[in-house]
Structure 1
């Protein structure tokens, strides 16, 4: 705080002395700062280039508008009918034949596979298959059953001591129509080429069962 003028009365030796104290010159003449001047707030002029409070505040980025989802196009749906074929296997039937030698197998009717036709309903979306449903199944060509004949006839073994007829190998053989009791029989005449083990040549001329 500045003092403009102060009058002091000093008493000295019974006399009165009056002294005047003059306040120091303004700060501008001494180069010192006036404390009162420092306490005065600075008022910024309107044309001050310093940034204002509004300008000094951080700039807020503009809000991005929400993106509206693009509507998907409705797929093109089509239905069509398609057919497929499958092979149908044939069966085999066995027939036992006593006219064929035992162990013999003979195919008399050859088997042929049949055909099954399948009908489907197919659904397409934009050309891509999305569903397949079986709506019909039928045999359009019937298979042919294969027939195999299997022989059951027992093969006869002929005794090599005789020729001209098959003399079976048995415990005993007699001439057919004779008085023998078998159990096996042979129709003659036949020639004895080895040993007459069944005694069929009764007269010894080499011809058996000629009577």
Structure 2
């Protein structure tokens, strides 16, 4: 081995020794970032659960308010009880729809984005725990968003049916009742289609993150 080769080997050894701590630091930063993504997922998951509890509470409060509007305590109140109950149902539907929009459009979108990015990091850096393929992870996100979307759809349908029942008492005419329930059926179908299409829109945005 000549002098030039020896000098080259020493130079390469020094570069390797200098780059090793940097490599370890890089792995540490990647690991910390991955841990941070997992923590964000858990945080958002907790918020999503609270939103579902809040939605159920709103539904129960709406039903209780409708029942209370026909109670003895409000008998002396000079107001149409059917109209009051209809307004309560209407605002209950608006409330649940608003919670659904914020939950799916904000928290579920961020949760899905963090989840997919976490899986992408696990596929790219083998020292992280690998939990599955990105496409499989997107399937998990899709199932969850559609599942929670159906949850909000179900609660809205309950209030729509309640609203239809209340409105049907405004008149004794059978034709009026038939028209009310036809409109109710149309509203239920529109609600299902619109809310599921919105969930699909969110999933299409998340699908772009797969790269």
Q: What's the TM-score once normalised by structure 1's chain length?
A: 0.23
Greater Rg by CA? 1
Flag the structure with more relative contact order, 1 or 2, with Cα contacts below 8 A and sequence separation at least 6. Answer: 2
In terms of fraction of residues, the more strand-rich structure is 1
